[in-house]
Structure 1
Amino acid sequence: MTQTEEKPKVIRGDDLQAITPHLVCAGAADAIEFYKKAFGAVEKMRLAGRDGKLMHGAIKIGNASVMLVDESPDWGSFAPTSLNGSPVTIHLYVADVDAFIDRAVKAGATLRMAPADMFWGDRYGIIEDPFGHKWSIATHQRDMSVSEIEEAMKAFMPSAGGCDS
């Protein structure tokens, strides 16, 4: 934590969400520093074990909480880098997807898909952080009905079929 950040005195119920990502990282303390630099995250909590590994960390990205922990193979807890990737992508809405992705890439993220205007009304891109976690980043541009999205998808991907095809 920087000198200007203040550790919370208590963890309040309104700090918790119904669903909160809990990321396993090889180097969770380094991950916190990356998210602060790349995503503008605010560190809320850090508990290190006797071996120095992070037993629990918490950050806030925008209005969302994210928990972190160091991988612990003895407990069956592995980071994406130990598993050759992760099937999970974390979706994050931001005010300016282009600037956000640019800052994340400059901080060490890998660009997987450059931001582009998408048929469902978002400007959208994908990055992978240095710890193996994939993030889809979006800026909402316009509200659309389900039927408008379906029509736009057909134009965007003419061979795309529905679930029943």
Structure 2
Amino acid sequence: MTDDISFEISLFVEHGREQEAVDFYSSAFGAIVVEPYSLDGVLMGFAMRFGAMPVAVAGSNPRREENPSYGGPFFPKAAGSVSAIFTLIVGDIECAMQRAIEAGAVTRDVVQVDVLGRRVASIFDPFGHIWALVERRAETVTLAA
């Protein structure tokens, strides 16, 4: 690998729900809109940042939906019918869960301790995607004797 490689996620929602998705991700997770993009005057999606991570939020192409032989990407047709889980590292998991639920998410797993000793929870966003929330561990400081 070289230093010129970067990574971006493209998250697809049902066409026509792009603005709703951006509003949810901004309210629930504090994501920031970098810029909207359109094609022939029709809103197609948004470039966003979730912390330092660039994420494109786009509407699934209706023509591809009508003819699945074209192949995806498609939006989730039911909560959790996805092939990936998005993980957010948060400072306060209760606060993060509350913000997401108030913005329209549904609880998938309540706050609990996982096998690695981390506090975790998960939600379904209003578009069917699964988000795992992992609480950032406090830094441990060791003092030299």
Partner of 2:61: 72
- In the comparison of the two structures, how many residue pairs are matched? 127
Partner of 1:114: 110
Deviation at 1:19, TM superposition (A): 2.5
Deviations along 1:89-139, whole A, 9 cap, x unmatched?
Answer: 111101111110111001100100011122313210000100111100111
1:15-164 aligned at under 5 Å gives the runs 18-26=6-14, 27-50=17-40, 52-54=42-44, 56-75=45-64, 76-81=72-77, 85-141=81-137
**Percentage of pairs with the same residue:** 26
Q: Report the structure, 1 or 2, having the larger helix content.
A: 1
TM-score when normalising by structure 2: 0.77
- 1:34 aligned counterpart, secondary structure: helix
Q: Which has the higher contact order (CA 8 A, sep 6+)?
A: 2
Q: How large is the RMSD of aligned CA atoms in angstroms?
A: 2.4
1:82 & 1:72 partners in 2: Cα distance? 17
- 1:116 aligned counterpart, secondary structure: strand
- Displaced runs of 4 or more, over 4 A: none
Q: Report the structure, 1 or 2, having the larger strand content.
A: 2
Cα 1:82–1:125, aligned 2, differ >3 Å: closer, same or farther? closer
Whether contact under 8 Å (2:78, 2:128) holds in the other structure is: no
Structure 2 unmatched runs, 5+: 65-71, 140-145
Structure 1 unmatched runs, 5+: 1-15, 144-165
